[in-house]
Amino acid sequence: MNARHVIAIASIGAAGLAWAAGEETIKLKDAPGVDKVRQNCVSCHSLDYIPLNSPFLDQKGWEAVVTKMQKAMGAPIKQEDVAPIAEYLAKNYGKR
């Protein structure tokens, strides 16, 4: 099992816990773009995915994740929201 599998399994587990509780289990950093993240990301998974993956992702990594969620996973993210979401995630939760 590689690191990506571990991350995916942990993300699924965290999402399940958040859905079971019926509420957001983390508080996102208040910064420009947080509204886009809340509007788009919770339609598929809990927001716990963000800090769980932040040690591994830089700007390019977050851009790839948002694009993958949109194109490969079918997340209903408007194209104009992709850049603000990735920028918010990179600035507030990106690997430094």
Q: How many residues does the chain have?
A: 96
pLDDT digit string, tens, across residues 26-66:
889 999 999 999 999 988 888 888 888 777 788 899 999 99
88 lies in which domain range? 3-93
The answer to whether 86 and 59 have CB atoms below 8 angstroms apart is yes
Q: How many angstroms separate the CA atoms of 15 and 60, rounded?
A: 24
The answer to whether 52 and 14 have CB atoms below 8 angstroms apart is yes
For residue 23, which phi and psi values (nearest 5 degrees)? -150, 165
Radius of gyration of the chain (CA): 13
**Residue where the block lists tokens 């994740």:** 65
- The predicted pLDDT at position 51 comes to 84
Q: What is Dmax (Cα atoms) for the chain?
A: 36
The overall average pLDDT reported for the chain is 80
CATH code, domain with 43:
1.10.760.10
The answer to whether 63 and 86 have CB atoms below 8 angstroms apart is yes
Answer whether 0.95 is exceeded by the pTM. no
Q: Which two tokens stand for residue 85?
A: 């979401």
